[in-house]
Chain A
Amino acid sequence: MSTTRSPRRRADAAQIARRRLHARRKRRNAVALTLALAAMAFGIFWLIWILVETVRLGIGGMSLSLFTEMTPPPQAETGGLANAIFGSLAMVTLATLLGTPIGILAGIYLAEYSQRSWLGQTTRFINDILLSAPSIVIGLFIYSVVVARAKSFSGWAGVLALALIVIPVVIRTTENMLVADPERAARGRLRARHAEVARHPDGDPAARRAPASSPASCWRSRASPARPRRSSSPRSRTSSGPAT
């Protein structure tokens, strides 16, 4: 009798232990989940507080004169912030106009031409450093290079500083977008040239731009040096070297 009972009791004990382990794992999971949710709530809390306070305190001061009138001298009763707002818009527009072409071209270079070369790696590294460089350091740099040389402050100095901040961001984003494009790798295997891959995200460049040229023009070897200058004009595309 006792011989039949003890194995069963042992099995029961094992089952209890297993259940306890299961409960403990479940509990630990719940605790971790709660902590994660609490961390998220902590972050959201500040965000919502900032938004609510901004709207609550700012809604009363909203008026048309804020955007149309100049900043008055101290103690004046009326006036707006038009000059600062205009300044911001002008700065940002010019900096974007200046920074976008450079950034996009550099991004294309990094994504298409130099995935693995040491120049590309170095550029990427430096760009990432520049990407998170403190803005005040960039300000100091522009001050010593532009303002101190020209001996006067200027809007252009501000534009340059902003452009220096914009360019690394554009480079990074452009490169990420191009690299993330799944068809890109396939077209690379079809030996489309780098510039064509970057310029025609959807479809066969040869068929689109030069229907009369031989279909072999899109079969140029990657081994033959693909230079961006060459492929930039459609005329040189047809004349630059035979197909492999």
Chain B
Amino acid sequence: MVIPFIASVMRDVFDVTPPMLKESAYALGSTTWEVVWKVVLPYTKTGVVGGIMLGLGRAIGETMAVTFVIGNFNQLNSLSLFEAANSITSALANEFGEAAPGLHQASLMYLGLVLFLITFVVLSISKLLLQRLKRREGAVT
């Protein structure tokens, strides 16, 4: 689910590069790869990082796809990725329906708060990076 998201963001980000820079590089005899690596990527560096952060935010918040397959098993004895486990979203989705009012529900609510704080921080950072890219776009073209 991250692949298509990052792909579409990257397309938008790479479109920001002024065509004049790219065409100049081609006119000097660069190959496509050299244009991407030496012109487009340096120009859009912050945007690329911001896009990756957006994808990360998407992955953190994703609920159902993980809940179906992770197994809802509360353990941290082994860090093995091959055993059933839990993530914030899957714990919430699996347990909230049956949680009794009181401590159980309250702790699940708190889990939701933690999740929201994490996404908030990640998204804020990505927004700031993308904004910086946009400001530069305004300055250069």
- Interface residues, chain A, with chain B CB atoms under 8 Å away: 25-26, 28-29, 31-33, 42-43, 46, 125, 128-129, 132-137, 140, 143-144
Given A136-B89, A137-B115, A28:B4 Cβ within 8 A: no
Q: Are B31 and A136 in contact (CB under 8 A)?
A: no
Binds A, one of B17-25, B32-40, B73-81: B32-40
Q: Are B116 and A134 in contact (CB under 8 A)?
A: yes
**B140 in contact (CB, < 8 A):** no
A57 to chain B, nearest CB (A): 16
Q: Are A132 and B32 in contact (CB under 8 A)?
A: no
- Which residues of B from 67 to 120 have beta carbons under 8 Å from A? 89, 92-93, 96, 108-109, 112, 115-116, 119-120
Given contacts A29-B32, A32-B37, A137-B116, 16 further A-B contacts (CB under 8 A): A25-B31, A29-B34, A128-B123, A129-B127, A132-B58, A132-B61, A132-B119, A133-B61, A133-B116, A134-B62, A134-B119, A135-B63, A136-B63, A136-B92, A136-B115, A140-B109
Q: Are A134 and B61 in contact (CB under 8 A)?
A: yes
- Which residues of B from 109 to 141 have beta carbons under 8 Å from A? 109, 112, 115-116, 119-120, 123-124, 127
Q: Are B31 and A28 in contact (CB under 8 A)?
A: yes
Q: Kindly state the separation between the CA atoms of A31 and B108 in the bound complex, as whole angstroms.
A: 49
Q: Are B124 and A129 in contact (CB under 8 A)?
A: yes
Q: When the two chains form the complex, which single residue of A33, A43, A125, A128 contacts B3, counting CB atoms closer than 8 Å?
A: A43
Q: Kindly state the separation between the CA atoms of A132 and B61 in the bound complex, as whole angstroms.
A: 8
Question: Hey, which chain B residues are within 8 Å of A29, CB to CB?
Answer: 31-34
Question: Hey, which chain A residues are within 8 Å of B52, CB to CB?
Answer: none
Which 7 pairs from chain A and chain B are nearest by CB? A134-B61, A29-B31, A32-B33, A140-B112, A29-B33, A137-B116, A136-B63
Q: Are A135 and B32 in contact (CB under 8 A)?
A: no
Q: Which A residue's beta carbon lies closest to that of B30?
A: A25
Q: Which of B92, B112, B120 has the most CB of A within 10 A?
A: B112
Q: Kindly state the separation between the CA atoms of A136 and B37 in the bound complex, as whole angstroms.
A: 39
Question: Hey, which chain B residues are within 8 Å of A129, CB to CB?
Answer: 119-120, 123-124, 127
Q: Are B61 and A33 in contact (CB under 8 A)?
A: no
Q: Kindly state the separation between the CA atoms of A30 and B119 in the bound complex, as whole angstroms.
A: 38
B5 to chain A, nearest CB (A): 9
Pick 7 A–B contacts, CB within 8 A, sort by A: A28-B33, A46-B3, A132-B58, A132-B123, A133-B61, A135-B61, A136-B92
Q: Which of A29, A132, A133 has the most CB of B within 10 A?
A: A132
Q: Kindly state the separation between the CA atoms of A26 and B32 in the bound complex, as whole angstroms.
A: 9
Q: When the two chains form the complex, which single residue of A125, A134, A144 contacts B115, counting CB atoms closer than 8 Å?
A: A134
**B54 in contact (CB, < 8 A):** yes
**B60 in contact (CB, < 8 A):** yes
Q: When the two chains form the complex, which single residue of B4, B54, B92 contacts A132, counting CB atoms closer than 8 Å?
A: B54
Q: Kindly state the separation between the CA atoms of A143 and B92 in the bound complex, as whole angstroms.
A: 12
